[in-house]
């Protein structure tokens, strides 16, 4: 039987002929409505852009520019310089200039409020090239993050092997170090490649005072007048992004607080001998051995694990004997980090005379919102909250950022070199506001109600608006993928997943039917998404290729901020797993709000 089957298979012919994408019926109908004698003139196109695409401010000159862009298009029609035919109209709709997000919108949020009123594009362990345990440390991922628009770069700083200089590495792991000065120079060189808004450098400090002084010298020499320092009185309110254009800020725990925390920790440890250790006392534990680390690395992003101590809470070395901190180092710290003494309520206490940054692990946050959700939002109205991945994410995966955002956390720290849906959400969120890396938080996260109440993401609110999405067709896989990538003997069987990531009441995913054996699938399916908090909603789009016997193949993804979606029929370019845009793969979709 198997031999017979094999013989039959040998006669299969590979059918990879490409069918050219054709305008869907709805597009043809619209063209007929906005054309005359099969030609869409400037006036016709101008009216289409206003009435269908919702571009109220578009001019006839803009419409003419679209038509002029096809002046070299090879067509027999002699009127092609004055109007669009159906084929050129369809090419315009699927072209790069007709994107779902406006390329000309730029930075349009109010950038004059304090930093605490913004979500900030934040990296975690920004120097790692791969996993958290054994990858190389390098300035290259720092450069890549800055080119993407990341505004917060995290560096773990340790004494080098001879204790006379400073390296960047993930401590107590097998990661190879990179010199701090190299990272600082790379930050300065590439900081404003994608955005002119300020870059914050968060330091995980494991240094002795003499090396802290050396860091102060490096930072001062590298950034000079571009470094923002608040002065000896500190800050009672954070400056605004607009006031810090092309400037740098340092954020870490001040040295004296490190010393006090270390001594207090040791005293507490001595008095608690024999008792169960707390999360903070587990800092001294060795990292998991390589065998178990590799096993953990395969876990899904949603896997639960043990709490991970905030690495800022303690530093390395015998600081008990170090009585003199480096004053020049302390003066450079613009954003003071650290937890107040006591429990969670103390950590979240608000001092009207000073501002600070608090760091919580993803699990600490998840536990805190159960009992202190209101306090967290109140804290983030004035202060900065940084959330970072749990320690067991050795494969550099990430967590659901919406949990932190909906509670006002500004610095949702992500492993930018990682993979997965969580990172796609991060990419999508910061496509807004011109990709500058700072997003003004919605007003409901910044205000207090008449009864002193604040926003509660768990409460189901009335629907504010409904997003209508129609998926017409897809194209470009034939150009960007090997022709045997999806199926060996036939074209792929694509389907699209469309949904919302946002507050719990709004989050949902839906799916089109599967189109078999087609490189240019046409679905023509519509979906509706009622949104109670559209300000925090992200539109998730994924394409997969159905596989009956194995896991479905990945065919592209993107994530778009609902707040900046352009209505009308739009081209939606798709990206690979790492977030890099494909050259040709895109969907044609329609967006409407009701």
Q: What is the rounded CA–CA span in Å between residue 345 and residue 324?
A: 31
Q: Which of 46, 80, 170, 336 is catalytic?
A: 170
The residue from 44, 46, 80, 124 that is catalytic is 124
50 secondary structure, DSSP code: H
β-bridge pairing 384-388 and 357-361: parallel
Q: Which residue has the tokens 């946002």?
A: 502
Do the beta carbons of residue 385 and residue 360 sit within 8 Å?
A: yes
What is the C-alpha to C-alpha distance for residues 555 and 539, in angstroms, rounded to an integer? 17
Angle at 187 between CA 185 and CA 192, to 5 degrees: 125
Which of 101, 213, 104 minimizes the C-alpha distance to 166? 213
> Phi, psi (5° rounding) for residue 87?
-70, -40
Q: Both tokens of residue 80?
A: 């092609």
CA dihedral (198, 202, 211, 178) in degrees, to 10, reads -90
Q: Give the count of beta carbons closer than 10 Å to the beta carbon of residue 403.
A: 18
Spatial neighbors of 340 by CB under 8 A, at least 6 apart, are 346, 347, 349
- Provide the pairing of β-strand 411-414 with 118-123: parallel
Question: Is 46 a known active-site residue?
Answer: no
Residues in the chain: 594
* Parallel, antiparallel or unpaired: strands 178-179 and 568-575: unpaired
DSSP 8-state secondary structure symbol assigned to residue 210: H
- The structure tokens listed for 535 are 């300000």
Given a contact cutoff of 8 angstroms between Cβ atoms, the answer to whether 234 and 332 are in contact is no
Query: What is the DSSP-derived secondary structure letter of residue 302?
Result: T
SS3 at position 433: helix
- Cβ atoms of 363 and 307 closer than 8 Å: yes
Q: Has 485 been annotated as catalytic?
A: no
Helices (H), 224-337: 255-271, 290-297, 327-331
Distances (CA, A) of 359 to 156, 173, 207, 309, 413: 15, 22, 20, 10, 10
Rg of the chain on CA atoms, in Å: 27
Tell me the C-alpha distance between 18 and 24, whole Å.
17
Give the 3-state secondary structure of residue 508. Answer: strand
Tokens read off for 445: 């996260």
**Helix, strand or coil, per DSSP, at residue 424:** helix
Strands 553-561 and 118-123: unpaired
- Dump strand ranges (E) for 160-256: 166-168, 178-179, 199-205, 248-252
The distance in angstroms from the start CA to the end CA of the chain is 59
Catalytic amino acids? 124, 170
């Amino acid at each position: 039987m198997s031999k017979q089957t094999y013989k039959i298979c040998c006669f299969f012919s590979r059918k990879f002929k490409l069918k050219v994408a054709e305008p869907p019926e709805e597009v043809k109908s619209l063209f007929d409505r906005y054309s005359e004698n099969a030609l869409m003139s400037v006036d016709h196109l101008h009216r289409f852009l206003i009435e269908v695409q919702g571009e109220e401010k578009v001019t006839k000159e803009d419409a003419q520019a679209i038509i002029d862009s096809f002046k070299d298009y090879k067509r027999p029609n002699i009127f092609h310089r004055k109007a669009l035919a159906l084929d050129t109209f369809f090419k315009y709709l699927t072209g790069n200039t007709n994107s779902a997000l406006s390329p000309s919108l730029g930075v349009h949020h109010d950038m004059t409020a304090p930093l605490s009123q913004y979500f900030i594009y934040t990296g975690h362990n920004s120097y790692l090239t791969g996993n958290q345990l054994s990858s190389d440390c390098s300035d290259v991922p720092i450069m890549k993050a800055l080119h993407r628009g990341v505004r917060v770069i995290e560096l773990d700083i340790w004494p080098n092997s001879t204790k006379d200089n400073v390296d960047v590495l993930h401590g107590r792991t097998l990661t190879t170090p990179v010199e701090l000065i190299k990272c600082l120079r790379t930050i300065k060189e590439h900081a404003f490649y994608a955005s002119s808004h300020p870059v914050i450098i968060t330091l995980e400090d494991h240094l002795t005072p003499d090396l802290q002084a050396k860091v102060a010298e490096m930072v001062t020499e590298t950034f000079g007048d571009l470094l923002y320092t608040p002065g000896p009185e500190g800050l009672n309110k954070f400056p605004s992004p607009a006031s810090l254009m092309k400037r740098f800020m340092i954020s870490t725990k001040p040295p004296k607080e490190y010393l006090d925390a270390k001594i207090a920790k040791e005293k507490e440890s001595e008095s608690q001998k024999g008792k169960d250790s707390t999360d903070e006392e587990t800092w001294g534990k060795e990292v998991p051995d390589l065998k178990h680390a590799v096993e953990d690395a395969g876990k899904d992003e949603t896997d639960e694990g043990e709490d991970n101590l905030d690495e800022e809470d303690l530093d390395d070395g015998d600081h008990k004997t170090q009585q003199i901190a480096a004053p020049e180092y302390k003066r450079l710290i613009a954003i003071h980090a650290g937890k107040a003494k006591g429990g969670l309520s103390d950590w979240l206490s608000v001092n009207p005379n000073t501002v600070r940054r608090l760091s919580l692990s993803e699990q600490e946050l998840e536990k805190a919102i159960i009992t202190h959700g209101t306090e967290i939002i109140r804290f983030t109205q004035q202060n900065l909250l940084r959330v970072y991945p749990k320690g067991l994410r050795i494969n550099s995966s990430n967590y659901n950022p919406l949990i932190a955002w909906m509670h006002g956390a500004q610095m949702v720290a992500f492993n930018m070199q990682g993979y997965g849906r969580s990172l796609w959400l991060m990419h999508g969120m910061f496509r807004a506001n011109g990709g500058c890396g700072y997003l003004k938080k919605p007003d409901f996260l910044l205000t207090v109600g008449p009864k002193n109440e604040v926003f509660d993401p768990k409460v189901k609110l009335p629907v504010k608006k409904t997003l209508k999405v129609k998926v017409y067709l897809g194209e470009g896989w034939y150009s960007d993928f090997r022709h045997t990538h999806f199926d060996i003997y036939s074209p792929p069987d694509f389907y699209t997943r469309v949904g919302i990531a946002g507050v719990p009441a709004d989050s949902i995913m839906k799916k089109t039917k599967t189109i078999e054996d087609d490189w240019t699938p046409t679905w023509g399916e519509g979906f509706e998404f009622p949104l109670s908090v559209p300000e925090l909603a992200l539109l998730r789009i994924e394409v997969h290729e159905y596989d009956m016997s194995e896991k479905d193949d990945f065919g592209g993804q993107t994530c778009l901020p609902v707040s900046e979606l352009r209505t009308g029929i739009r081209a939606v370019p798709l990206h690979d797993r790492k977030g890099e845009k494909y050259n040709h793969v895109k969907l044609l979709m329609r967006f409407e709000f009701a």
